[in-house]
């Protein structure tokens, strides 16, 4: 399965430079950590699906000595690997900029922003991965790329405004504690991710590669 | 005789098409050609052999194993070529090889470079700059470099020019000198098969019409042409298919000897090519398939 994760990363080739340039661009625009991590991860993840569809990758990798379970599991694992990589780069840049680069929602710490980005991406992937496995084809994959990135951006703002609403209009977060609030969201997203993983496996095992 | 592939009573249904009760045995050490017109079901059978499509019912065994328990073992011993590209355009052949090589237990890097030299494939050039023929050669180099025991090729020469097709067939003949390799090759280009195939399986409307030794086909099948007066209820029994006009007929017979004994010098009797067989069996324009 490590070979498949490596493949998911390697097929981007020089696009990695473009992703890095985009990351720096968003940082220069002083975009929030959650936004930058989520959008860059979303772009990389959906481009992986895109490249695979263009190259009939499903047909190729299913003809090589891999099981369908490994192929799907590798994709779910790759998302986490990419999230960690992008987060590490963003954290490094944040450290270099001496902490001046912070959230527009100043009430969120950088750690909350990072946890938020993981939550957004895991929930977005939970929704889209099974859909892409079920319906995406060479002609339609680009539509899913756009929808996924759009969902990731919408998810970021949903997390921000939910937090803002709960802090300003209710006492839920204050009463449960900020740590528990993020922990519950993280656990919820993890449960979604695991369920989605299982659903994708079921879909992919029944899929036909024509 | 040992079989590398066995399909037993395999069925697969789609909305407007079905593969019905397919049983097929592919012998080890030989080239088996699967022929049939477009949409006959060749590719569906090939995809079931590769587990890209799962049958609704029936059994598929490759090297005596089934995919449910031995998927990785089976695929480790198969090389494949498809009619469409399955390589990443943005990668070089070298990059692509680096991704695929570690997937196989018997990958031989020296052999891969040897094939690349033989096929004159540039390793450092992006695959998007390769011609269709070069891409097929690249896939072939990959398929051969892990010492596959079985090569599964679904319309590998589709869309290629005659020069490359001939070159491709020469390569196939060289591969078969090994003696231990088996090839199953689907195509609707009959001339490709007559030079390399040992066995021919003819697929018609999702069913296997016949599966025979190519020499038996070439020796026995004949096209008979004669006047319409030669046909009656008895002589028509000699044919698998007949095309009649007002004055004459053309028919495909599965037994040249019987045809000769029936018609003697009154009809023109010629050995049937694979293309003839496919044309008549398919029931080409104005051809009536007997029984």
Q: Judge: A10–B78 Cβ closer than 8 Å, yes or no.
A: no
Neighbour count for residue A171 (Cβ, 10 Å): 9
Q: Is B72 in Cβ contact with A66 (below 8 Å)? A: yes
Residue A40 has pLDDT above 90, yes or no: yes
d(CA A49, CA A51): 6
Proportion of chain B in helix, strand, coil states, percent, rounded to 5: 40, 30, 30
Measure the CA–CA gap between B75 and B98, rounded to whole angstroms.
18
Backbone angles phi, psi at B210, to 5 degrees: -160, 160
pLDDT tens profile A66-98: 999 999 999 999 999 999 999 999 888 877 776
Can you tell me the distance from the alpha carbon of A166 to that of A185, in angstroms, rounded to the nearest whole number?
13
pLDDT tens for each residue of B59-84: 999 999 999 999 999 999 999 988 88
Q: Give me the helices (H) in chain A, please.
A: 2-10, 15-28, 33-54, 57-63, 68-96, 110-135, 141-169, 172-176, 178-206
d(CA A78, CA B181): 37
Q: What is the pLDDT of residues B4-24, one digit of tens each?
A: 999 999 999 988 888 888 999
* Torsional sign, CA A137, A142, A146, A148: positive
Per-residue confidence band for B278, with pLDDT thresholds at 50, 70 and 90: confident
Q: Which of B52, B72, B90 is facing A65, going by the closest CB pair? A: B72
Å between A92 CA and nearest CA of chain B:
30
Please identify among residues 89-108 of chain B the ones whose CB lies closer than 8 Å to any CB of chain A.
89-91, 95, 98-100, 102-105
Give chain B's mean pLDDT. Answer: 87
Residue in A55, A63, A66 closest to B50 by CB? A63
pLDDT bin (cut points 50, 70, 90) of residue B289 is low
Smallest CA-to-CA distance from A72 within A196, A208, A210, A209 is with: A196
pLDDT in tens, A52-65: 988 888 899 999 99
pLDDT of residue A4: 93
From chain B, pick out residues whose CB is under 8 angstroms from the CB of A3: 99, 102-103
Domain B3-217, CATH number (from 3.40.50.2300, 3.40.50.460, 3.40.50.300, 3.40.50.10860): 3.40.50.300
| CB pair distance less than 8 Å for B89 and A54 | yes
List where CATH 3.40.50.300 sits in chain B. 3-217
User: What distance in Å separates the CA atoms of residue A204 and residue A72, rounded to the nearest whole number?
Assistant: 7
pLDDT at B1: 61
* B228 touches B249 (CB < 8 A): yes
Is residue B119 scored above 80 in pLDDT?
A: yes
Residue B75: list chain A partners with CB under 8 A.
63-66
Distance, CA of B133 to CA of A52 (rounded, Å)? 22
Does the model's ipTM exceed the 0.90 cut? Answer: no
Q: How many CB atoms lie within 10 A of CB B50?
A: 21
Q: For the segment A146-203, what is each residue's pLDDT rounded down to a tens digit? A: 999 999 999 999 998 898 888 888 888 888 888 899 999 999 999 999 999 999 999 9
CB distance A3–B78 less than 8 Å? no
B212, B178 contact by CB (below 8 A)? no
Which chain A residues touch B84 with a CB distance below 8 Å? Answer: 56, 59
In angstroms, the CA B148 to CA B145 distance is 8
Chain A positions with Cβ closer than 8 Å to B: 3, 6-7, 10-11, 13-14, 51, 54-57, 59-60, 62-67, 206, 208-210
First to last CA, chain A: 24
B102–A60 C-beta distance less than 8 A: no
CA angle A41, A82, A24 (to 5 degrees): 55
Percent of chain B's residues with pLDDT above 90: 35
Q: Read off the pLDDT band of A115 (50, 70, 90).
A: very high
SS3 annotation, B193-231: HHHHCCEEEEEECCEEEEEEEHHHHHHHCEEEEEEHHHC
Interchain proximity A55–B88, CB inside 8 Å: yes
Give the distance from residue B116's alpha carbon to the nearest chain A alpha carbon, in angstroms. 20
Closest CA to B22 of B206, B188, B278: B206
Asked if residue B230 lies in contact with residue B238, where contact means CB atoms within 8 angstroms, the answer is no
Contact B193, B165 (CB under 8 A): no
CA pair distance A123, A79, nearest whole angstrom:
12
B104: helix, strand or coil = coil
Q: What is the mean pLDDT of residues B217-243?
A: 86
In angstroms, what CA-CA distances link B112 with A112, B128, B141, B183? Answer: 50, 20, 6, 19
Q: Which of B13, B90, B135 to mutate to test the interface with A (most CBs of A within 10 A)?
A: B90
Among B81, B99, B107, B128, the strongest candidate for a mutation testing the A interface, having the largest count of A CBs within 10 A, is: B99
Q: How many angstroms separate the CA atoms of B228 and B249, rounded? A: 6
- B239 pLDDT tier (thresholds 50, 70, 90): confident
For chain B, where are the E strands, in sequence order? 3-13, 18-27, 31-35, 57-62, 65-66, 78-81, 150-154, 182-187, 199-204, 207-213, 222-227, 239-244, 248-253, 268-271, 287-289
Q: Which pLDDT does position B254 carry in this prediction? A: 87
**DSSP letters of A63-113?**
HSS--HHHHHHHHHHHHHHHHHHHHHHHHHHHHHTTT----SSTTS-HHHH
Q: In chain B, which among 21-60 make CB contacts under 8 A with chain A?
A: 43, 47, 50-54
Mean local confidence (pLDDT), B211-230: 88
What's the pLDDT tens digit per position in B147-202? 899 999 988 887 777 888 888 888 888 888 877 889 999 887 777 787 888 999 98
Q: Strand, helix or coil at B6?
A: strand
pLDDT the model gives residue A136: 81
- Phi-psi group of A150: left, alpha or beta (phi > 0 → left; psi -120 to 50 → alpha; rest → beta): alpha
Query: Computed from CA positions of residues A57, A62, A66, A68, in that sequence, does the dihedral angle turn out positive or negative?
Result: positive
Measured in angstroms, the CA of B182 and the nearest CA of chain A are apart by 17
Per-residue pLDDT tens over the stretch A122-138: 999 999 999 999 988 88
- Say if CB A155 and CB A38 are below 8 A apart: yes
- The domains of chain A are located at 2-206
pLDDT the model gives residue A100: 60
Q: Which residues of chain B lie closer than 8 angstroms to A206, CB-CB?
A: 54
pTM for this model (two decimals): 0.86
């Amino acid at each position: 399965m490590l070979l498949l994760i490596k493949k998911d990363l390697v097929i981007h080739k020089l696009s990695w430079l473009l992703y890095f340039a985009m990351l720096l661009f968003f940082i220069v625009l002083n975009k929030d950590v959650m936004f930058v991590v989520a959008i860059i991860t979303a772009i990389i993840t959906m481009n992986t699906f895109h490249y695979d569809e263009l190259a009939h990758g499903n047909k190729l990798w299913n003809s090589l000595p891999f099981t369908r379970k490994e192929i799907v599991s590798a994709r779910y694992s790759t998302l986490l690997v990419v999230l960690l990589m992008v987060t590490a780069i963003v954290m490094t840049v944040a450290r270099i900029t001496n902490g001046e680069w912070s959230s527009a929602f100043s009430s969120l710490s950088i750690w909350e922003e990072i946890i938020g980005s993981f939550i957004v991406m895991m929930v977005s992937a939970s929704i889209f991965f099974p859909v892409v496995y079920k319906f995406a084809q060479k002609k339609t994959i680009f539509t899913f790329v756009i929808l996924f990135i759009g969902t990731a951006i919408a998810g970021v703002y949903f997390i921000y405004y939910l937090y803002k609403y709960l802090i300003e209009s209710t006492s839920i977060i204050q009463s449960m504690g900020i740590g528990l609030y993020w922990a519950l969201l993280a656990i919820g997203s993890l449960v979604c991710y695991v369920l989605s993983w299982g659903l994708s496996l079921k879909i992919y095992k029944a899929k036909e590669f024509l | 005789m040992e079989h590398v592939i066995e399909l037993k009573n395999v069925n697969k249904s789609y909305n407007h098409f079905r593969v019905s009760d397919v049983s097929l045995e592919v012998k080890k050490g030989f080239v088996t050609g699967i022929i049939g017109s477009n949409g006959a079901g060749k590719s569906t059978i090939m995809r079931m052999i590769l587990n890209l499509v799962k049958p609704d019912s029936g059994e598929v065994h490759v090297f005596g194993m089934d995919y449910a328990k031995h998927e990785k073992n089976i695929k480790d011993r198969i090389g494949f070529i498809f009619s469409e590209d399955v390589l990443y355009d943005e990668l070089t052949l070298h990059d692509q090889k680096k991704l695929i090589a570690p997937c196989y237990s018997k990958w031989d890097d020296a052999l891969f470079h040897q094939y690349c030299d033989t096929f004159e494939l540039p390793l450092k050039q992006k695959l998007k700059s390769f011609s269709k023929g070069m891409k097929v050669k690249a896939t072939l180099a990959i398929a051969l470099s892990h010492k596959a025991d079985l090569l599964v090729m679904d319309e590998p020469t589709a869309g290629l020019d005659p020069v490359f097709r001939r070159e491709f067939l020469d390569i196939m003949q060289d591969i078969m000198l090994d003696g231990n390799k088996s090839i199953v090759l689907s195509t609707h280009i009959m001339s490709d098969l007559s030079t390399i195939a040992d066995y021919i399986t003819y697929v018609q409307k999702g069913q296997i019409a016949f599966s025979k030794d190519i020499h038996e086909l070439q020796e026995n099948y004949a096209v008979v042409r004669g006047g319409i007066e030669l046909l009656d209820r008895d002589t028509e029994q000699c044919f698998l298919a007949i095309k009649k006009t007002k004055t004459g007929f053309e028919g495909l017979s599965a037994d040249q000897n019987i045809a000769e004994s029936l018609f003697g010098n009154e009809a023109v009797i010629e050995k049937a090519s694979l293309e003839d067989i496919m044309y008549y069996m398919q029931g080409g324009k104005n051809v009536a398939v007997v029984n």
